[in-house]
Amino acid sequence: MEEDAKGRFSRRQVLAASTALAAATTVAPGGARPAAAGAAPEIVGPGEVRVALRVNGQVRETLVEPRVTLLDALREKLDLTGTKKGCDHGECGACTVLVDGVRVKSCLTLAIMREGAEITTIEGLADGSRLHPMQVAFLERDAFQCGFCTPGQILSAVGLLKEGRPRSRDEIREGMSGNLCRCSAYPNIVDAVADVAEVPR
Amino acid sequence: MRPFAYAQATSAADAVAVAGRDPSAAFLAGGTELLNLMRDGLAAPGLVVDVNAVPAKGISFGEEVIRIGALARMAEVAREPRVRDRLPVLSQALLAGASAQVRNAASVGGNLMQRTRCWYFRDAAMPCNTRVPGSGCPAIGGENRWHAILGGSDACIKVHPSDLAVALTALDATVVTHDRRIPITEFYRLPGSTPHVETALRPGELIVAVEIPAAGAGFRSGYRKVRDRASFEFALVSVAVSLDLDGGTVRQARIALGGVAPRPWRALAAENAVRGRRLTPDVLRAAGEAAVEGAAPREHNAFKVELVRRTVADVLERVGGGR
């Protein structure tokens, strides 16, 4: 059990967590804790459950209640605070991450749902000290002011390009409409994405 | 968010069985709606049953029906080339909803189970007959710009938020649950005196698929959503149209409205106004007029009446090939 869990566990929760871990070792990665064929699904929680998250290529185990969002698990449990909590309702996009290469809002998904998935946060986008081309473009185009929405903007833009290259600035605007910028750096954000997508001005 | 227990089901039968152990249980697919409801105190299930591992995925194109798994994601369905090609109304409605990130996560089944965006429903501190039966409806005498002009009652004037459900109404779809089939026109309930009863689903019943008659794939169809922002916003008015044309004459039409009623609103009178006719300006005008038959606008939403008239005429004309 982790340090912060000391003295805060009931026997039932500890048992639930260890049973879950045992179950997790018997199934292939990708399925978190589905029951074996024919067995009834196992019920875990509401106390903390051990969850293994694959973040930026590393498997990180942590204890979370089932109600903990992926966003909160990343920030509070794994100390990956590059993913930002803006509205916590899926409206602002600041918490955008890639899950199995697809952009999603990490405040609208539970950590426990994403066991076995490949999660990419802003911390994992660069290749060592070499920035991702989208990060470079945001710097070159000065595509931010306060920077709070930027990790989400960049991951959303990376996800957008994986979905198919936008053909126009209008398509970029539409594709990026799930990411708000209260500083309104939108023209420069569109410029940055257009650079990487090779959309002419 | 209140604490809850959690289980992952790998079959529909398991999902239903485990959910049956807690009357407050909720199914979880994409999570994009349920998490907000739980966070805002609008839902407090003691058990959440994750159905993402249930084999109810993908889209199959049969001779009789096109079957969309309840766990297919909005983006996946919208991008499918055969959907874009043969069911444009479906692809257009899906792409008009939410944002790209939400469409990547949100499931078809979950989309149909969205709750209203009525701001009084969404604020747990306010009275709301849908949330707390008998507590009252502040929308009727309050801020009702977004609210229903059709199908409302003295108890509730919410509107249903799904674009997908409107398109599926125009496509004559059927909702398939783990043990029965429900035509989409019977799936949603009007509020009447029981606005808390919103769908035909029984507690613990799981949507596994949506089926669309394959014949509809030969029809021309289209969707238009009118809203306050160009993107990432719910409809003020939306119109879905599916037309079976014989030359320039309408053989059959299905017309559904969004943003105007507590459920996707099938505009039968408008369908009658175009059936057997060519889509001349007079017929388009008559269809628009018929679509708002019986409309009961409130203090702040009378504009929706004219918006429906014009949007119905516009979509019919576009889909019918006028331009």
The per-residue pLDDT for range B64-109, each reduced to its tens digit, is 999 999 999 999 999 999 999 999 999 999 999 999 999 999 999 9
Q: Is the pLDDT of residue A201 over 90?
A: no
Whether A151 contacts chain B with CB within 8 A? no
Q: What is the predicted pLDDT for the residue at A59?
A: 98
Q: pLDDT tens across B211-252, in order?
A: 999 987 779 999 999 999 999 999 999 999 999 999 899 999
Q: What is the pairing mode between strands B47-50 and B26-28?
A: parallel
Q: Give the CATH number of the domain where residue B229 resides.
A: 3.30.390.50
Q: Is the pLDDT of residue A14 over 80?
A: no
Q: What is the predicted pLDDT for the residue at B323?
A: 44
What residue has token string 């109600």? A67
Q: Give the CATH number of the domain where residue A48 resides.
A: 3.10.20.30
Cβ contact (<8 Å) for A109 and B75?
A: no
Supply the range of the domain harboring residue B271.
59-113+160-320
Q: Give the CATH number of the domain where residue A168 resides.
A: 1.10.150.120
Lowest mean pLDDT among A32-36, B124-128, B154-158, B307-311: A32-36
Q: What is the predicted pLDDT for the residue at A34?
A: 55
Q: What is the predicted pLDDT for the residue at B198?
A: 98
Q: What is the predicted pLDDT for the residue at A27?
A: 35
Judging contacts by C-beta atoms under 8 Å, the chain A residues touching residue B17 are 40
Q: What is the predicted pLDDT for the residue at B201?
A: 97
Judging contacts by C-beta atoms under 8 Å, the chain B residues touching residue A174 are 230-231
Q: pLDDT tens across A159-194, in order?
A: 999 999 999 999 999 999 999 999 999 999 999 999
Q: How much is the average pLDDT of B307-317? A: 98
| ipTM field | 0.95
Q: What is the predicted pLDDT for the residue at A40?
A: 81
Q: What is the predicted pLDDT for the residue at A200?
A: 84
* DSSP H or E stretch at residue A130: none
Q: What is the predicted pLDDT for the residue at A33?
A: 59
Number of domains in chain A: 2
Distance from CA of A18 to the nearest CA of B (A): 15
Q: pLDDT tens across A87-120, in order?
A: 999 999 999 999 999 999 999 999 999 999 999 9
Q: What is the predicted pLDDT for the residue at A25?
A: 35
Whether A102 contacts chain B with CB within 8 A? yes
Q: What is the predicted pLDDT for the residue at A38?
A: 60
Residue B132 included in any domain: no
Q: What is the predicted pLDDT for the residue at A23?
A: 38
Look at residues A124, A154, A186 and tell me which one is the last residue of a structural domain: A124
Q: Give me the helices (H) in chain B, please.
A: 12-19, 34-39, 74-79, 81-86, 88-95, 100-105, 108-112, 119-122, 163-170, 184-187, 268-274, 281-291, 303-320
Q: Is the pLDDT of residue A4 over 70?
A: no
Q: What is the pairing mode between strands B174-177 and B181-183?
A: antiparallel
Whether A48 contacts chain B with CB within 8 A? no
Let me know whether A154 and A114 are in one domain: no
Let me know whether A108 and A28 are in one domain: yes
Supply the range of the domain harboring residue A139.
133-197
- Give the per-residue SS3 of B177-216: ECCCEEEHHHHECCCCCCCCCCECCCCCCCEEEEEEEHHH
Q: Is the pLDDT of residue A18 over 60?
A: no
